């Protein structure tokens, strides 16, 4: 894990919600491994990112952290517990993480996601809600599901798609804001 004081923004969420795909879409690179089968990411993968002119002048450096997902059933409870332990060990670590909690826009209000939000809150970790795979919804589903996610988590969700690119500029701005608020501008 990085030992310096740069802000760390972690992507958390259920297995298959699109964490690794979103890192690739944001960076326009294939740096994170993705898979149609859940349980692909098995470690906390840390990427150092530099933003030029994001949300203000100057260069902003930060870490994006791709975490294993929760709720992965294949491979049994042992495998699911192991992945969860990696994510929890990272989030419980010595640095102050800022979390993007990714929610599949097709499935608002899943118990596993509500539990994850509670877990983060109980540890004093603030989470920003991001609704993934928004390209898969019709216009009416979109309005309804974003409403439902907002109601469930008590804050508006940012809709994004790694496939169509929707919401990525807004997400970068959100990440830049989080990093700047962390007060460590290079």
By the rule CB under 5 A, 41 interacts with Mg ion: yes
Give whichever of 54 and 87 is closer to Mg ion, judged by the CB atom: 87
128 binds, among ligand GTP, Mg ion, none (CB under 5 to 8 A by kind): none
Question: Could you tell me which stretch among 18-26, 55-63, 122-130, 151-159 binds ligand GTP (CB under 6 A)?
Answer: 18-26
Please return the burial class of 4, using the count of CB atoms within 10 Å of its CB with bins 0-12, 13-18 and 19+. exposed
Q: Which is nearer to ligand GTP, 48 or 74 (CB)?
A: 74
Of the candidates 19, 84, 128, 180, which one interacts with ligand GTP according to CB under 6 A? 19
The verdict on 132 binding Mg ion (CB under 5 A) reads no
Determine if 152 is a binding residue for ligand GTP (CB under 6 A).
Answer: no
Q: Interacting stretch for ligand GTP, rule CB under 6 A, among 39-47, 91-99, 148-156, 169-177?
A: 39-47
161 counts as binding Mg ion under rule CB under 5 A: no
Cβ of residue 161: shortest distance to ligand GTP, in angstroms?
Answer: 4
Q: What is the 3-state secondary structure (H, E, C) of 124-169?
A: CCCEEEEEECHHHCCHHHHHHHHHHHHHHHCCCCEECCCCCCCCHH
DSSP string, 21-40: HHHHHHHTS--S---SSS--
Q: Is the dihedral of CA 16, 20, 184, 131 positive or negative?
A: negative
Task: Please give the DSSP secondary-structure letter assigned to residue 70.
Answer: B
CA distance 143 to 13: 21
Binding site for ligand GTP (CB under 6 A): 13, 15-21, 34-36, 38-41, 68-69, 132-133, 135-136, 161-163
């Amino acid at each position: 894990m990085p030992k310096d004081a740069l802000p760390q923004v972690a992507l958390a969420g259920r297995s298959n919600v699109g964490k690794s795909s979103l890192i690739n879409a944001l960076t326009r690179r294939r740096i994170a491994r993705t898979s149609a089968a859940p349980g692909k990411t098995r470690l906390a993968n840390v990427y150092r990112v530099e933003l030029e002119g994001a949300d203000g002048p100057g260069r902003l450096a930060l870490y994006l952290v791709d975490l294993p997902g929760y709720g992965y059933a294949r491979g049994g409870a042992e495998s699911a517990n192991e992945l969860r332990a990696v994510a929890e060990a990272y989030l419980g670590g010595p640095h102050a993480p800022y979390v993007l909690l990714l929610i599949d826009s097709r499935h608002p209000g899943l118990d596993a996601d509500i539990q994850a939000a509670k877990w983060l809150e109980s540890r004093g970790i603030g989470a920003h809600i991001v609704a993934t795979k928004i390209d898969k919804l019709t216009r009416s589903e979109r309005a309804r599901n974003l409403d439902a996610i907002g109601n469930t988590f008590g804050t508006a969700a940012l809709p994004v798609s790694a496939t169509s690119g929707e919401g990525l500029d807004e997400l970068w701005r959100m990440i830049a804001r989080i990093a700047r608020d962390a007060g460590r501008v290079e």
